DNA sequence: TTGTCGGCTTAGCGCCGACAA
DNA sequence: TTGTCGGCGCTAAGCCGACAA
């Protein structure tokens, strides 16, 4: 055990959506070459653009009830970061009790814990089927997490030695998204948010460059469905994209600090979403006064133990931004890792970076 | 069970400190009769006043390290309200499992819970000795709570039929304290806080009434040790006491609403404390993403069960402002209640009122 | 006695281009 | 290309007594 290796498990992940920074742009693309009226959009080299009349787009952007679950999932992933993986529904996974306990803060006395693990007779790892996955976000902090329902397999003695069949990937919608780490100027009360030219060109709805100072209103929603409006303006000497009116309210409400990141997303149908990815975890999301850490550990233990004995479902929360230890690992990933020589039973770690950087294919 | 009766258990409680509203004041006491210089203080009819030179007082107000634990406890009690009782260290109490589970929000399926109670073989109530009590406050909300360490008694079969010996009460320091429910004007950004004349006369440090508009700076700390400064001024026509500069910062930081209450306290040595008592509980102090409510319930169950079986200590959190059910009841209170005809096993309830009202002796 | 309001002053929010890294 | 700053207009915070409940 001890210090785990810095290792990612994302080799197998293929983003179906080309990310902005993977696209090649001519350096001169900033000058407004197109003087046709609305919409111009010719700057968007190599982007999958499907122009639709604006009216239709807006109509589609407001589906009848509530939020679009597909787009929600995309926003969730954008806020979680490119390295975060969530097990798929129907997949088989290993549940590591110790990793789960480590996700809880304030570890209790480890000797006592060991005694209690023995008392509950919980095996080291449990083979489970993923019954359900719900992506969620903490109301107070916007921290993303997944509520995962697991069902222990009845046969825990003959663990799988070959890979499970690969489940069909659910198709993901095409989105334009960026993520920018906030500068001190971005978060100060002195001004607005400076949109990087690349991000504006590739993700924001196109402005009417025929106007002397092009402006539009960005209407977007966050993970909770709350609406946020920003004035997007292209001004200054030299010209640059800015978010002004509405931005400071966002910063204040989300309690953003320099170093945190702003996440923006636009779907093909024109729906817009915003979110945050924090540099550091806002401390003590857990108020100390609910139950003792002792009881919390025992509760996790007892839940796993009881589910294992009765083959009944149990619910866990996976918080990818909090813990660096991934305590739910798909059978296939696990076998692959074992094969390539990792210690069986290691903790799985991943790097975090706040801003999405280009990944070489 | 069902709906419990509205009943308080505070008959036995005797406040060693006379509260302001228990004191008789002549209606004319507001006019500055004393024109002697500093300090005047003659308004303080019937108060235990021990004048000391100001310099000495200030020196004593800053003890070497950290906060005065006695004064902290007084502030805690003032914020908790006059009806809140906390078990005493060394005392014997009954611990009611079901009441404890009810304090947790989001109750799980009660049938499942009953099954699990059976599984853990936890008795209905557990006779315990109070090993330790720590008064605390939630960092985010200032909600007061007590961390109570309990040790089950080895003999759980022969429950006490007569009262335990009464423990000596620890002496409590003399303090001047008030608690005022905030009006819309108090919490609006338009102005400051209006100090009721009685409260100012009886609790705030005396002003120099020889000045045309008497003013002083109130320097105080909250339950976390954070310092708060307020300008206390006596002005207007007719004259009244106000807290101005510094007040709005306090309101914003503590997220106070009209209906919440402001708590102020001053010790004999001149140390000042401030706190809040909220009208309604700030919702969802517990973020949903830590452990499942299922596991939380199981954890409480397992903790109590394990402690009971091994006669080892366990820790619980008592949140007097959250739940109306008191799940830790001293043996003596319990016997007294049984004697006077209450259903054994009832839940203990109490009234809450935000502002301290005079209690007839 | 004290809650609310109109009047007034002023701090700081927030929009702008300048400038330089 | 974009982060930071000085300038400045303007909103809202916040202090005051008036007035009435």
A181-205 tens-digit pLDDT: 999 999 999 999 999 999 999 999 9
B147 contact residues in A (CB cutoff 8 A): 289, 292
More confident residue, A337 or A343: A337
CA of B333 to C1' of D7 (A): 71
- What does the pLDDT read at residue B19? 29
CA of A39 to C1' of D2 (A): 26
Chain A: residue whose CA lies nearest to B147: A289
The partner residue sitting opposite A145, judged by closest CB among B289, B297, B299, is B289
CA of B192 to C1' of D16 (A): 12
- Note whether B196 contacts A: Cβ–Cβ < 8 A: no
**Radius of gyration over every alpha carbon of chain B, rounded to an integer in angstroms:** 23
Q: Which residues of A330-344 are buried (b: 16+ CB within 10 A; e: fewer)?
A: bbbbbbebeeeebee
Nucleotide nearest to A243 (CA to C1'): C15
CA A212 to each of CA A29, A188, A201, A321: distance values in angstroms, whole numbers, following the listed order = 18, 28, 18, 43
Q: Is the CB of B196 under 7 A from strand C?
A: yes
Mean pLDDT of chain A, nearest integer: 77
CA of A135 to C1' of C14 (A): 36
Token readout for B32 is: 């500055």
> Of the spans A262-266, A316-320, B310-314, B322-326, which averages the highest pLDDT?
A262-266
Q: Is the CB of A213 under 7 A from strand C?
A: yes
Which residue's entry shows tokens 């004259």?
B239
Is pLDDT above 90 for B199?
A: yes
As a whole number of angstroms, the distance between CA B102 and CA B107 comes to: 7
Q: Is the CB of B185 under 7 A from strand C?
A: yes
Is pLDDT above 70 for A49?
A: no
- What does the pLDDT read at residue B123? 84
- What does the pLDDT read at residue B356? 60
For B213-227, what is the mean pLDDT?
97
**In which band, very low, low, confident or very high, does the pLDDT at A23 lie, cut at 50, 70 and 90?**
very low
- What does the pLDDT read at residue B324? 61
A116 contact residues in B (CB cutoff 8 A): 306
- What does the pLDDT read at residue B263? 98
**In which band, very low, low, confident or very high, does the pLDDT at B246 lie, cut at 50, 70 and 90?**
very high
- What does the pLDDT read at residue A67? 62
Is pLDDT above 60 for A57?
A: no
**Radius of gyration over every alpha carbon of chain A, rounded to an integer in angstroms:** 23
For A40-55, what is the mean pLDDT?
27
Chain B: residue whose CA lies nearest to A321: B289
A289 contact residues in B (CB cutoff 8 A): 136, 138, 143, 145, 147, 285, 317, 319
- Which has the minimum average pLDDT: A213-227, A228-242, B64-78? B64-78
Whether residue B295 and residue A303 make contact (CB cut-off 8 A), yes or no, is yes
A284 contact residues in B (CB cutoff 8 A): 139-140
- What does the pLDDT read at residue A106? 64
CA B164 to each of CA B154, B332, B333: distance values in angstroms, whole numbers, following the listed order = 16, 6, 10
More confident residue, A70 or B289: A70
Q: Is the CB of B355 under 7 A from strand C?
A: no
- Note whether A111 contacts B: Cβ–Cβ < 8 A: no
Q: What are phi and psi of A245, to 5 degrees?
A: -55, 130
For residue B41, give the nearest of B185, B202, B153, B182 by alpha carbon: B202
A102 contact residues in B (CB cutoff 8 A): none
For B225-230, what is the mean pLDDT?
97
Q: Which residues of A21-50 are buried (b: 16+ CB within 10 A; e: fewer)?
A: beeebeeebbebeeeeeebbeebbeebeee
User: How far away is chain A from the Cα of B319, in angstroms, using its nearest Cα?
Assistant: 7
For A276-299, what is the mean pLDDT?
81
Is pLDDT above 90 for B193?
A: yes
List of residues 6+ apart from A348 with CB closer than 8 A: A4, A7, A9, A325, A326, A329, A337
- What does the pLDDT read at residue B241? 98
Q: Is B329 helix (H, G, I), strand (E, B) or coil?
A: strand
Token readout for A345 is: 């039973």
- What does the pLDDT read at residue A29? 27
Is pLDDT above 50 for B350?
A: no
Smallest CA–C1' distance to D17, residue: B236
For residue A273, give the nearest of A203, A216, A171 by alpha carbon: A203
Query: Please, are residues A153 and A128 in contact by the beta-carbon 8 Å criterion?
Result: yes
The partner residue sitting opposite A287, judged by closest CB among B286, B294, B296, is B286
For residue A251, give the nearest of A223, A225, A274, A284 by alpha carbon: A274
- What does the pLDDT read at residue B342? 52
Chain B: residue whose CA lies nearest to A139: B287
- What does the pLDDT read at residue B103? 81
> Of the spans A47-51, A322-326, B258-262, B280-284, which averages the highest pLDDT?
B258-262
Nucleotides of C under 7 A from a protein CB: 1-7, 12-20
Element at B113 (helix H, strand E)? helix B110-120
User: How far away is chain A from the Cα of B217, in angstroms, using its nearest Cα?
Assistant: 29
Walk across the sheet containing B314-318 and list its strands.
B314-318, B144-152, B125-137, B92-96, B328-330
């Amino acid at each position: 055990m001890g210090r785990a290796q810095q290792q990612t498990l994302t080799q197998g992940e293929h983003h179906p959506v080309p990310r902005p920074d993977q696209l090649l742009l001519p350096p001169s693309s900033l000058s407004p070459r197109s003087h046709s009226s609305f919409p111009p959009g010719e700057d968007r080299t190599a982007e999958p653009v499907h122009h639709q009349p604006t009216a239709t787009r807006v109509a589609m952007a407001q589906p009848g009830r509530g939020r679009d679950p597909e787009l929600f999932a995309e926003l969730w992933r954008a806020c979680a970061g490119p390295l975060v993986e969530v097990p798929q529904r129907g997949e088989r996974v290993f549940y590591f009790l110790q990793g789960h306990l480590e996700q809880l803060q304030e570890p209790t006395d480890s000797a006592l814990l060991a005694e209690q693990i023995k008392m509950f007779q919980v095996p080291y790892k449990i083979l489970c089927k993923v019954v359900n996955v719900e992506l969620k976000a903490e109301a107070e902090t916007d921290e993303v997490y997944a509520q995962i329902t697991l069902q222990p397999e009845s046969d825990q003695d003959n663990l799988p030695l070959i890979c499970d069949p690969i489940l069909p990937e659910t198709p993901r919608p095409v989105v334009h998204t960026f993520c920018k780490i906030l500068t001190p100027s971005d978060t100060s009360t002195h001004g607005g948010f400076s949109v990087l030219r690349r991000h504006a060109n590739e993700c924001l709805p196109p402005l009417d460059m025929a106007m002397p100072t092009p402006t539009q209103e960005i209407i977007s929603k966050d993970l909770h469905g709350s609406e946020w409006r920003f004035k997007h303006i292209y001004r200054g000497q030299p010209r640059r994209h800015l978010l002004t009116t509405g931005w400071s309210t966002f910063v204040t409400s989300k309690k953003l600090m320099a170093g945190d990141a702003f996440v923006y997303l636009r779907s093909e149908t024109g729906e817009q979403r915003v979110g945050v990815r924090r540099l550091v975890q806002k401390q003590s999301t857990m108020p100390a006064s609910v139950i003792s850490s002792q009881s919390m550990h025992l509760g996790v233990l007892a839940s796993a133990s009881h589910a294992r004995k009765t083959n009944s479902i149990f619910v866990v929360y996976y918080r990818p931004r909090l813990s660096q230890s991934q305590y739910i690992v798909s059978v296939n990933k696990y076998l692959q890792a074992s094969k390539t020589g990792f210690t069986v039973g290691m903790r799985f770690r991943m790097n975090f970076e706040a801003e999405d950087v280009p990944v070489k294919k």
